[in-house]
Structure 1
């Protein structure tokens, strides 16, 4: 029996990590496509004539299917169909949506303003319909291959690939487009297509693993207990739970203050603080004749350092080994920063490159905060800290005009962004029974998409409204649109205190170590 177990694919370390790479392609590419428009906002206005409201509308309607339960429906379909079919169907939906948006941006459906706008939106709606379910498929598949092994490390690396996709999509789309929108959209859509091919390759190994595990199950006579089907009564019970309701609303306010801001951040830095839209020639890195590949290499180094410093050492049992590994990674990274200091100084004056550091920073901070919550607890208190950081970040980027304080605000936002997955998501597992976690997370994601819809679109519409009298070509005033996000931070503090109060009554132990 033991010998048979050793022959399954998942018991091979090399095979597990190879599968992770194949799966992370979907995470990387969908996060890229979700966020890459942020680096193109100014170009979409000048080349395609889109207003800020129309830019916000494109982003907002990406969430429309998920607002009305697509995540819950997708989760049920995933349970019914299995990983392979669900991944192909919803991955294919994302590819179809990306392809339609790319064709629309190229003028395939017509070059009229309304036609291009509406067809890009159609593509984004289809993409959004597949996006969240694809991420759930990737997560569930990683559990299948890594359960009993380095599951936390694999999860962190997969999420790291997603954040890397967000960062590179924001920073590199202008370089890839060569001053035009259409090539950047085509490239982003092609990434999802390539990722789907990677997933199809994965399914070959997944089929083989299922056959191996079925043979083992048949030999041992083990019978798996069937999972209970989704019931709406479970949803009602969740909403009646005060602690869960406060966490779900915190999810809405946190993400509404972060994700919409990230889409407008490059344009804000350009208009308010005078950052450059196009990277000056002195800041370009040419690799194999391409500045896009050269810039990508810098992000890959940052990603590698983040994984080596914040994620990998957590798997070492010996404290001295952990310390030496982190120290070595830090020294090597500092040397790299010293070598690249002149180029990076120019990057920190570019809107898209600077804004892209927010998702990249979460790769470092999230495991650090996650480790703290595991050992010390204080999840609800960390949410209060995150709320305060949100307020400072948005005040520093709206009311204040000092660029150095703005950098500090962006850093604060990155730290707050890291607190959400580190403190919020593990708290849900303390409140909700394990066999209902799928329903709980799907409910939270659905509510989150309502907040994203409102703020993606609302910020763009408000931006147009407050800048009505400003001549074309003059910097836009972002003060009021970003100041509105301070309100999300204030509401988050209020909800965090209510959560602490509810936890004291219901005794879920949110302030206790995991």
Structure 2
């Protein structure tokens, strides 16, 4: 009877995963909007007259509010207001920013170059002001529903949805836009609005969960200690914690070497390796009369296979059954690749489609690595491995000129993009007390935004600088801008070793499985 009384929505596996899907709508849509411009860089130059520096400025200023404390304020509000109010408020800000960007791209505020540029930037600043807090809300909410269960796996799948949004936004923007920028921006903005509706549905269940837990607490006579209000001394305490400081700085250097690169990757492949900008008709996939839906189906199927490898086998207690299921999924995956080989071969000669290998690698590997962290641990060691892959990737795409090595570089970047986040974010939950996770994640995202600001804008400005005098339409030289990112990889390795060393002293158990703490 007591066991019955203590059962809540959180104890239902089906309900936990259903909530994860509702939450992941926000992750998917915001990552799409964050990255979809990368597939449009060339078109934004020819249609709107934007230079590489202006393209980089649009991306960089997306982070400006978060650089100066918006994300920390949002994290404090999350800790004080709770998940529901913070998600609705900052999700609404992201929706507003997306809408302004869409209107600006359509010429609503003026069709001249300056008006479009300035208002797109205004929209991106608003979007960015909501973006990072929304990410913190999603991460914090997953901890609420999955702590004590498959926490790292749940975080990995949520990140997988985000990378799915990045991959599809990068690869499909030209298809959706039909050769124009405005329809692609409008579509991306609409996705955020739909995701906010999904979050509103989630809040209904979240309210019910809180009522259930309060009822259990009342019946058992347990008294919950009230949470203390946020104090800035909490922030100082976080920064003084060596393990937290190292993982926060690792977050800066690692993501600075990936997110900015992703925005320029399609243009790099077109300029350096001669990839196509527009997909040839032979490479189009038509589904229900739509090229965009057809192309989307390919990414969704890849994501489905990732779930089959990483999630479904966990429901089988028998090792032999798990092995047989994974073997069957692998055979099915290989058969799918065989059937699609002609289409995929054409995609691998297209700049935007090939660049989507970066987040595509995370779709396949992040849930697998998240499951590994849950079961085996080794989080700090995986961060070291991911940083090594990062260095190889950028060297292969900057110094080397072999297109086949470039493919391996992009794939290794996708694997690194899976390894480090799958290990990093669950590790924060071990280092920081749960009632301060909102502030901790917000602090990390704030520091991360400083790195992104410098590299988003810096790569564009450096690209214009090293290509001075090169006539419009001639290939641009990306060697020096991308080689700069190799340095971020070496710093990431150094910080990963420091984190591993600090953990041995502070004993947070970063190298241990998730369920060992």
Same-fold call, TM cutoff 0.5:
yes
Shift of 1:201: 2.8
Shift of 1:274: 0.9
Shift of 1:14: 4.8
Residues 1:27 and 1:474: Cα distance change in structure 2 (over 3 Å)? same
Determine the C-alpha separation between the residues in 1 that align with 2:469 and 2:413: 31
Residues 1:145 and 1:253: Cα distance change in structure 2 (over 3 Å)? closer
Determine the C-alpha separation between the residues in 2 that align with 1:447 and 1:453: 10
Residue 107 of structure 2: SS of its match in structure 1?
coil
Cα offsets for 1:83-132 (capped at 9, x unmatched): 22222111110100000000000000011211111110110111111112
Residue 117 of structure 1: SS of its match in structure 2?
helix
Consecutive unaligned residues in structure 2, runs of 5 or more: none
- The runs of at least 4 aligned residues of structure 1 exceeding 6 Å deviation read none
* Contact 1:153/1:312 (<8 A) preserved: no
Range 114-123 or range 136-145, more displaced: 136-145
Cα offsets for 1:399-440 (capped at 9, x unmatched): 111100100111111121122123333444444445444433
Consecutive unaligned residues in structure 1, runs of 5 or more: none
Residues 1:200 and 1:381: Cα distance change in structure 2 (over 3 Å)? closer
Residues 1:386 and 1:24: Cα distance change in structure 2 (over 3 Å)? closer
* Contact 2:382/2:419 (<8 A) preserved: yes
Determine the C-alpha separation between the residues in 1 that align with 2:100 and 2:450: 24
Residues 1:371 and 1:148: Cα distance change in structure 2 (over 3 Å)? closer
CA RMSD for the aligned pairs? 2.4
Residues 1:83 and 1:464: Cα distance change in structure 2 (over 3 Å)? same
Range 306-315 or range 281-290, more displaced: 306-315
Residues 1:133 and 1:109: Cα distance change in structure 2 (over 3 Å)? same
Shift of 1:507: 5.1
Q: Which residue of 1 aligns with 2:311?
A: 311
Range 269-278 or range 63-72, more displaced: 63-72
Residues 1:154 and 1:434: Cα distance change in structure 2 (over 3 Å)? closer
Cα offsets for 1:444-477 (capped at 9, x unmatched): 2211111011001100110111111111111111
* Contact 2:152/2:373 (<8 A) preserved: no
* Contact 2:136/2:438 (<8 A) preserved: no
* Contact 1:163/1:359 (<8 A) preserved: yes
Range 325-334 or range 74-83, more displaced: 74-83
Determine the C-alpha separation between the residues in 2 that align with 1:428 and 1:190: 32
Shift of 1:350: 0.9
Range 221-230 or range 374-383, more displaced: 374-383
Determine the C-alpha separation between the residues in 1 that align with 2:436 and 2:142: 19
Shift of 1:12: 5.3
Q: Which residue of 2 aligns with 1:264?
A: 264
Shift of 1:258: 0.7
Determine the C-alpha separation between the residues in 2 that align with 1:95 and 1:343: 35
Shift of 1:340: 0.7
Residues 1:256 and 1:462: Cα distance change in structure 2 (over 3 Å)? same
Shift of 1:167: 0.8
Determine the C-alpha separation between the residues in 1 that align with 2:208 and 2:157: 24
Cα offsets for 1:377-400 (capped at 9, x unmatched): 544333332222212111110111
Determine the C-alpha separation between the residues in 1 that align with 2:509 and 2:143: 26
Determine the C-alpha separation between the residues in 2 that align with 1:226 and 1:327: 50
Residues 1:231 and 1:462: Cα distance change in structure 2 (over 3 Å)? same
* Contact 1:266/1:355 (<8 A) preserved: yes
Shift of 1:159: 2.3
Cα offsets for 1:137-168 (capped at 9, x unmatched): 22333444455655554433322221111111
Residues 1:442 and 1:409: Cα distance change in structure 2 (over 3 Å)? same
* Contact 2:10/2:145 (<8 A) preserved: yes
- Normalising by structure 2, report the TM-score: 0.93
Cα offsets for 1:37-57 (capped at 9, x unmatched): 111111001100001111111
Q: Which residue of 2 aligns with 1:450?
A: 450
Residues 1:3 and 1:428: Cα distance change in structure 2 (over 3 Å)? closer
Shift of 1:500: 4.2
Q: Which residue of 2 aligns with 1:490?
A: 490
Range 80-89 or range 7-16, more displaced: 7-16
Residues 1:15 and 1:346: Cα distance change in structure 2 (over 3 Å)? same
Q: Which residue of 1 aligns with 2:18?
A: 18
Residues 1:431 and 1:197: Cα distance change in structure 2 (over 3 Å)? closer
Residues 1:340 and 1:203: Cα distance change in structure 2 (over 3 Å)? same
- Normalising by structure 1, report the TM-score: 0.93
Range 78-87 or range 33-42, more displaced: 78-87
Residues 1:16 and 1:249: Cα distance change in structure 2 (over 3 Å)? closer
Residues 1:440 and 1:139: Cα distance change in structure 2 (over 3 Å)? closer
Shift of 1:364: 2.7
Residues 1:410 and 1:446: Cα distance change in structure 2 (over 3 Å)? same
Determine the C-alpha separation between the residues in 1 that align with 2:284 and 2:298: 11
Range 312-321 or range 412-421, more displaced: 312-321
Residues 1:495 and 1:116: Cα distance change in structure 2 (over 3 Å)? same
Q: What is the number of residues matched between the two proteins?
A: 514
Shift of 1:374: 4.8
